[in-house]
A and B are shown apart, each in its own frame.
Chain A
Amino acid sequence: MKNTNLLTAKILILSVLIFFSCSKDKDDTGGNTGGGVDRSEMLTFIADDIILPSYAGFKIKMDEMVEKSNDFNANPTSSTLSSFRQAWVDAYTEWQKIELFDVGPAEKHTLRNFFNIYPTTIHTTATINGTNNGIIENIASGNENLNLPINYSAQGFPALDYLLNGIGDSDDAILAEYTTAPDAQAKLAYVKKVVDQMNFKFNQTYNEWTAGYRDQFVSKTSLDIYSSTSLLVNGFVLNYERFIRSGKFANPSGAMSSSPNAYPEDVEAFYKKDLSRTLAITAHQASVDFFNGKSVKTGIEGNSLKTYLNAIEAKDLKSGKPLVDTLNGQFKAIAGAMNTLNPSLETEIRTNNQAMIDVYSKLQTATRMLKVDMTSAMSITITYTDNDGD
């Protein structure tokens, strides 16, 4: 009796194996879902054609800004100020193309915190933990620690925005702050310190990417909570939700608190006045290009979230419409709405805030699709405990 049972078991296991191996041969061409399901290929393309070239592009602008900052520091004139400002505009715009890669070294070193926390803190009456935490206090102190969270909003592009564009009423007045003012040297020193900090933090992240993280990134192909795809997508969606939707639109327009309280002075690059729309459009386009896998090197689309979602057939079970098409339709609507805004989002809020709120609503729709439909279709895990799927 026992022998027959054992035999049954063996036959059962054997038949399952045979079934699998036979079916494999038969369906090798017809049944395969086709290319694009290989996450290793996707991660390789994203690393080599999108993230690393984007970092390389930012490095050029960053180096340029460091150089112009040094020129200004050595000899503050209206000419060096003007070059420094232009380099700042270029670098700030380029930054929008790398802020979304909140994964690996950038996440570990919380790169964003040293580059783009706004509105910037010019002056504060509260001193926390015995350290200063406004630009004015930091200039006066001269020994502030820019690594402390309390100083995040007193450095980076937003602090430079104030120092280059907002510290005086006119260009002459601004220049005077760095030449004839009693604390001109302290101000120059602070500008240098902020730029050096940015340069150091960026190079730290970029070097770690090229010196080993790239290979680790490409090899972690699973979809669990610590996998590259999961971290990358979570960082991308977080950036989209909190730093494009909320930071650039919802917060200054007051869309997420009791209307009619808008906060026009909370727009990005507030002191530059005419840059905020460009930054928003650039950031959003970078997110769209990343989603569609547009190579930064060639401009041609490759393996990406788009090809992966299409390969796993992410589409509405009911209508059959691919999720990618739904998302790209929404992205297009957002880009169109952003283009009609005033180059100064502050002006837009003061004159026609409803247009800002409309962009916010469109971003909100896309956020939900990215956060819910896309991550669910990809089966990206956000928790680490046991789960039985309900």
Chain B
Amino acid sequence: MKTYFERTISAAPLAVFRIGLGFMLLFGIIRFWSKGWIEDLYINPKCYFPFYGFEFVVPLGNYTYILFAVCGISALLFALGLCYRLASISLFLSFTYIELIDKSTYLNHYYFISMICLLMIFLPAHAFFSIDAKLNKNLHSGYVPAWTVDSIKVFVSMLYIFAAIAKINSDWLLHAQPLKIWLIARNDMPVIGFLFNYKWTPYLFSWFGFLYDLTIPFFLWNKKTRLGAYAAVIVFHVFTSLLFPIGMFPYIMIVTALIFFSEDFHLILLSQLNKLFKGQKEFISTSNNYAFKHLNQNIIIILFSLFFFIQLLLPFRYLLYPGQLFWTEEGFRFSWRVMLIEKAGYAEFKVRDAVSGKWVIVNNNEFLTKLQEKMMATQPDMILQYAHLLRDHYAKKGFEKPQVFVDSYVTLNGRLGRVLVDPNTDLAAQVESFNHKSWILSYND
């Protein structure tokens, strides 16, 4: 084992990954900004759904633009490898802060980026082909410990494999849901649209998607199959980006998968870039070794081990809860469950003055955006947060001891809708915790 941690490889893969990730994130921020989503998602809404335990993360109003600017500039510095340590810390913090403001914007690939950025803080991705390395000859190194690159590969592999494990359920494999619903909705696409009118198409796509997720890390890792596997990565992700509104994710994965390529491949890539920018030959041909201080390396390895251990356990935490995961969504997030469920819901809240008995039915549009309402209506923890928000709002409006009840109705993967939350439970009196929410009605299927 000791020899493994002493092994070194070219610093080029890590440098390419740094550049690729940095520019992708910069582009992502610009895209988000230009579509007006900063305003739509983080400034205009009247209320927000922070994550349990992260309630201190509050929206910043118009300063949100500054937050995004910081994030974008950090991504640029990160890509250039200028003030890398500071940039990577600031990139991680600003990006994660944005994602923690409102649950309704949660996407697995945002979480992926947050976690990758966290790892990158500790990795010497600036030791090669960076401005830092140009300015600091002591830093400039052609070789880094092999485990630094491997930890990225392991994390990416975990994402795919957990995504595959999540697909092992009867809805996905036996009923081809939710693809059955989603694909036919795209049957007017040019060239390939007609395919979605066939009954077997969603089954083929479901099984292909499952096998792809399950095997792609191994095929990428293996030198002999790598090129074919990468072609599959491109085809698969381009296909998903054409079919579904999943934004930057496919492109991030296409760039990320380059990390599996050989040292030579990355060196050639960087030497081409070097030529383009008329850099000196020595800039990409140093034989220096990047070495962590012994103690530092041990601490980082311990921290990384802990990180991966937690990452291994998190997707399985749902086993601690009773009931159907897709229904209760207890332990659903942070587990690489991507494109798994078509869920839609309806939640009508009744706020009652416990003293006088008067009550009102809430118009959700008064408090929530369409996205927030859609997300809230199917996710019990958000229903509870919203109920508390209503309780506090109506208490201010003169309701004494306000009680909050919800009339909820949710459909899951094409099943006829049914009631999600016990309509007789006063949600105002329920407390959020990691415990099972007993007021979620059971789902017998």
The interface residues of chain B lying within 8 Å CB-to-CB of A380 are 185
The interface residues of chain B lying within 8 Å CB-to-CB of A258 are 357-360
The reply to whether the CB of B142 lies closer than 8 angstroms to some CB of chain A is no
Kindly state the separation between the CA atoms of A193 and B37 in the bound complex, as whole angstroms.
43
Name, among B200, B245, B445, the residue most crowded by chain A CB atoms within 10 Å (CB to CB): B245
Kindly state the separation between the CA atoms of A13 and B40 in the bound complex, as whole angstroms.
41
User: Is there contact, CB below 8 Å, between B227 and A8?
Assistant: yes
User: Is there contact, CB below 8 Å, between A316 and B227?
Assistant: no
Q: Which of B226, B342, B417 interacts with A369 by CB under 8 Å? A: B417
User: Is there contact, CB below 8 Å, between B181 and A376?
Assistant: yes
Q: Which of A24, A321, A367, A386 interacts with B245 by CB under 8 Å? A: A386
User: Is there contact, CB below 8 Å, between B231 and A13?
Assistant: yes
Kindly state the separation between the CA atoms of A8 and B225 in the bound complex, as whole angstroms.
8
The interface residues of chain A lying within 8 Å CB-to-CB of B224 are 1, 4-5
The interface residues of chain B lying within 8 Å CB-to-CB of A20 are 195
User: Is there contact, CB below 8 Å, between B342 and A5?
Assistant: no
Kindly state the separation between the CA atoms of A375 and B410 in the bound complex, as whole angstroms.
12
Interface mask (B218-258 → A, CB under 8 Å = 1, otherwise 0): 00000011111001100100000000111111000000000
User: Is there contact, CB below 8 Å, between A389 and B228?
Assistant: no
Kindly state the separation between the CA atoms of A381 and B246 in the bound complex, as whole angstroms.
13
**Interface-side segment among B54-62, B295-303, B343-351:** B343-351
Interface mask (A356-371 → B, CB under 8 Å = 1, otherwise 0): 0000000000011101
Kindly state the separation between the CA atoms of A375 and B378 in the bound complex, as whole angstroms.
14
User: Is there contact, CB below 8 Å, between A390 and B332?
Assistant: yes
User: Is there contact, CB below 8 Å, between A373 and B228?
Assistant: no
The reply to whether the CB of B108 lies closer than 8 angstroms to some CB of chain A is yes
User: Is there contact, CB below 8 Å, between B184 and A33?
Assistant: yes
User: Is there contact, CB below 8 Å, between A316 and B198?
Assistant: no
Q: Which of A317, A378, A388 interacts with B415 by CB under 8 Å? A: A317
User: Is there contact, CB below 8 Å, between B199 and A387?
Assistant: no
The reply to whether the CB of B116 lies closer than 8 angstroms to some CB of chain A is no
The reply to whether the CB of B20 lies closer than 8 angstroms to some CB of chain A is no
The reply to whether the CB of B126 lies closer than 8 angstroms to some CB of chain A is no
User: Is there contact, CB below 8 Å, between A377 and B226?
Assistant: no
Q: Which of A1, A38, A368, A379 interacts with B181 by CB under 8 Å? A: A379
User: Is there contact, CB below 8 Å, between A368 and B409?
Assistant: yes
| Given A258-B357, A312-B184, also A387-B244 (CB < 8 A) | yes
Interface residues of B in 401-441 (CB under 8 A from A): 409-411, 413-417
Q: Which of A6, A372, A388, A389 interacts with B417 by CB under 8 Å? A: A372
The reply to whether the CB of B64 lies closer than 8 angstroms to some CB of chain A is no
User: Is there contact, CB below 8 Å, between A386 and B107?
Assistant: yes
Kindly state the separation between the CA atoms of A20 and B340 in the bound complex, as whole angstroms.
24
The interface residues of chain B lying within 8 Å CB-to-CB of A376 are 181, 342-344, 411, 414
User: Is there contact, CB below 8 Å, between A40 and B228?
Assistant: no
The reply to whether the CB of A89 lies closer than 8 angstroms to some CB of chain B is no
The interface residues of chain B lying within 8 Å CB-to-CB of A382 are 370, 374
The reply to whether the CB of A31 lies closer than 8 angstroms to some CB of chain B is yes
Kindly state the separation between the CA atoms of A20 and B208 in the bound complex, as whole angstroms.
13
| Given A373-B416, A386-B247, also A379-B182 (CB < 8 A) | yes
Interface residues of A in 1-44 (CB under 8 A from B): 1-2, 4-6, 8-9, 12-13, 16, 20, 23-24, 27, 31-33, 37-40
| Given A376-B344, A386-B246, A389-B339, also A12-B231 (CB < 8 A) | yes
The reply to whether the CB of B274 lies closer than 8 angstroms to some CB of chain A is no
The reply to whether the CB of A86 lies closer than 8 angstroms to some CB of chain B is no
Kindly state the separation between the CA atoms of A380 and B226 in the bound complex, as whole angstroms.
38
Q: How far is the CB of A119 from chain B (nearest CB, A)?
A: 18
Kindly state the separation between the CA atoms of A369 and B37 in the bound complex, as whole angstroms.
31
The reply to whether the CB of A318 lies closer than 8 angstroms to some CB of chain B is yes
| Given A20-B195, A390-B332, A390-B338, also A5-B417 (CB < 8 A) | no
The reply to whether the CB of A319 lies closer than 8 angstroms to some CB of chain B is yes
The reply to whether the CB of B187 lies closer than 8 angstroms to some CB of chain A is yes
User: Is there contact, CB below 8 Å, between B340 and A9?
Assistant: no
Chain A: number of interface residues, binned into ranges: 35 or more
Kindly state the separation between the CA atoms of A162 and B83 in the bound complex, as whole angstroms.
74
User: Is there contact, CB below 8 Å, between A5 and B411?
Assistant: no
Q: How far is the CB of A13 from chain B (nearest CB, A)?
A: 7
Q: How far is the CB of B67 from chain A (nearest CB, A)?
A: 18
Q: Which of B184, B249, B416 interacts with A37 by CB under 8 Å? A: B184
Q: How many residues in B have their beta carbons less than 8 Å from beta carbons of A?
A: 68
Q: How far is the CB of A5 from chain B (nearest CB, A)?
A: 3
User: Is there contact, CB below 8 Å, between A314 and B199?
Assistant: no
A379 to chain B: closest residue by CB: B185
Interface mask (A190-229 → B, CB under 8 Å = 1, otherwise 0): 0000000000000000000000000000000111100000
B198 to chain A: closest residue by CB: A31
Q: How far is the CB of B443 from chain A (nearest CB, A)?
A: 10
Q: How far is the CB of B160 from chain A (nearest CB, A)?
A: 14
Q: Which of A1, A319, A321, A372 interacts with B346 by CB under 8 Å? A: A372
User: Is there contact, CB below 8 Å, between B416 and A319?
Assistant: yes
Q: How far is the CB of A33 from chain B (nearest CB, A)?
A: 6
The interface residues of chain B lying within 8 Å CB-to-CB of A33 are 184, 197-199
Kindly state the separation between the CA atoms of A371 and B370 in the bound complex, as whole angstroms.
13
Interface mask (A237-259 → B, CB under 8 Å = 1, otherwise 0): 00000000000000000001110
| Given A27-B198, A37-B187, A37-B197, also A383-B417 (CB < 8 A) | no
A389 to chain B: closest residue by CB: B339
Kindly state the separation between the CA atoms of A1 and B371 in the bound complex, as whole angstroms.
50
Kindly state the separation between the CA atoms of A27 and B204 in the bound complex, as whole angstroms.
14
The reply to whether the CB of B150 lies closer than 8 angstroms to some CB of chain A is no
The interface residues of chain A lying within 8 Å CB-to-CB of B184 are 33, 37, 312, 379
| Given A20-B195, A221-B188, A388-B108, also A375-B178 (CB < 8 A) | no
Kindly state the separation between the CA atoms of A368 and B180 in the bound complex, as whole angstroms.
22
The reply to whether the CB of B74 lies closer than 8 angstroms to some CB of chain A is no
User: Is there contact, CB below 8 Å, between B227 and A385?
Assistant: no
User: Is there contact, CB below 8 Å, between B182 and A31?
Assistant: no
User: Is there contact, CB below 8 Å, between A8 and B198?
Assistant: no
The reply to whether the CB of B175 lies closer than 8 angstroms to some CB of chain A is yes
The reply to whether the CB of A323 lies closer than 8 angstroms to some CB of chain B is yes
The interface residues of chain A lying within 8 Å CB-to-CB of B198 are 23-24, 27, 31-33
Interface mask (B172-184 → A, CB under 8 Å = 1, otherwise 0): 0001011011101
The reply to whether the CB of A326 lies closer than 8 angstroms to some CB of chain B is yes
Name, among B41, B185, B244, B338, the residue most crowded by chain A CB atoms within 10 Å (CB to CB): B185
B247 to chain A: closest residue by CB: A386
| Given A5-B228, A372-B344, also A257-B360 (CB < 8 A) | yes
The interface residues of chain B lying within 8 Å CB-to-CB of A8 are 225, 227-228
Q: How far is the CB of A290 from chain B (nearest CB, A)?
A: 21
Q: How far is the CB of B352 from chain A (nearest CB, A)?
A: 8
Name, among A8, A12, A387, the residue most crowded by chain B CB atoms within 10 Å (CB to CB): A387
The reply to whether the CB of B288 lies closer than 8 angstroms to some CB of chain A is no
Q: Which of A319, A381, A387 interacts with B107 by CB under 8 Å? A: A387
Binding site for B on A (CB under 8 A): 1-2, 4-6, 8-9, 12-13, 16, 20, 23-24, 27, 31-33, 37-40, 221-224, 256-258, 312-319, 321, 323, 326, 367-369, 371-373, 375-390
A-B contact pairs, 17 of them (CB 8 A): A5-B227, A9-B227, A222-B186, A223-B185, A256-B360, A317-B171, A317-B175, A371-B346, A373-B416, A376-B344, A377-B414, A382-B370, A385-B41, A386-B246, A388-B338, A389-B244, A390-B332
Nearest 4 interchain pairs by C-beta: A386-B247, A5-B227, A379-B185, A376-B344
Knowing that A312-B181, A383-B374 touch, tell me 11 more A-B residue pairs with CB under 8 angstroms.
A8-B228, A12-B232, A16-B235, A258-B357, A258-B360, A368-B346, A369-B417, A379-B182, A381-B245, A389-B178, A389-B342
